[in-house]
Amino acid sequence: MAFFHFCFDLSHYGVIEANFYRDPVWTWQRTLILSGFLLCAGAGQAIATAQGQTWPRFWKRWAQVAGCALAVSASSALMFPDSFIYFGVLHGMAVMLVIARLSAPLGRWLWLLGAVAVALPQFVQHPWFDTRWTNWVGLVTAKPITEDYVPVLPWLGVMWWGLAATQWLLARHPRWLVGATGAPAQGLALLGRWSLTFYMVHQPLLIGGLVLWLQFWRTPS
């Protein structure tokens, strides 16, 4: 993710030439990164419910995600006033986490629901969903102009699959999900425990460092 965003920053500031909106090299990377996010978020809900997470604790974490989503909207409006992020990955996750929490007891039915959610936008689109107030659902006839767009459909299906897969692992192979972390992976484990913080901090640091380099150290061509 950090590599993808840094390359986007390099393109935005004219250091490299890349089309992040149409080139499959970048669009497929985005799809894979986003899928990883939502699979892990679904897995997290499976573990949280299995450990008896209370609703107050859920809402505390949810408020952090929703608050960061608002911060992303505000900061992106400064950088991209004509295409700011109004329903990106954190906005989508805020909605989908509530649905995942409520639907966690459905168990194996989550596999089927996930498949329906992923497939539905391919067969059902309507202009009514094309407005900014309704396109968060995902049944749009054209993708809106925004720097990040993660509607509930089809992406809820990916979160449901992460939830269902982890419930299956917890029921049949719980040892696969526990155990000490080896030394080479401890850094990644630390980032995993602070994933939201890393997500919010990495871009300001990357952009700030790039701007400083362009301003003071880049050799004029």
Q: How confident is the model at residue 182 (pLDDT cuts 50, 70, 90)?
A: confident
Residue 99 maps to a domain: yes
Residue 176 maps to a domain: no
Residue 41 maps to a domain: yes
Model confidence over 98-150: pLDDT tens digits?
999 999 999 999 999 999 999 999 999 999 999 999 999 999 999 999 999 99
Please report the pLDDT score of residue 4 as a whole number.
Answer: 95
Please report the pLDDT score of residue 178 as a whole number.
Answer: 79
Tokens 């301003």 -> residue: 215
1: pLDDT strictly greater than 60: yes
23: pLDDT strictly greater than 80: yes
Residue 155 maps to a domain: yes
Task: List phi, psi (to 5°) of 127.
Answer: -55, -25
Mean residue pLDDT of the chain comes to: 93
Question: Which of 143-152, 159-168, 187-196 has the least mean pLDDT?
Answer: 187-196
Stated pTM of the model: 0.92
Residue 125 maps to a domain: yes
User: What are the C-alpha distances in Å from 178 to residues 133, 158, 181?
Assistant: 42, 23, 9
Residue 221 maps to a domain: no
Please report the pLDDT score of residue 220 as a whole number.
Answer: 56
219: pLDDT strictly greater than 60: no
Packing angle, helices 55-79 and 89-103, rounded to 10: 160
SS3 state at 87: strand
Please report the pLDDT score of residue 180 as a whole number.
Answer: 67
Structurally, the chain folds into a number of domains equal to 1
Full domain range(s) for residue 63 = 2-171+182-215
Residue 207 maps to a domain: yes
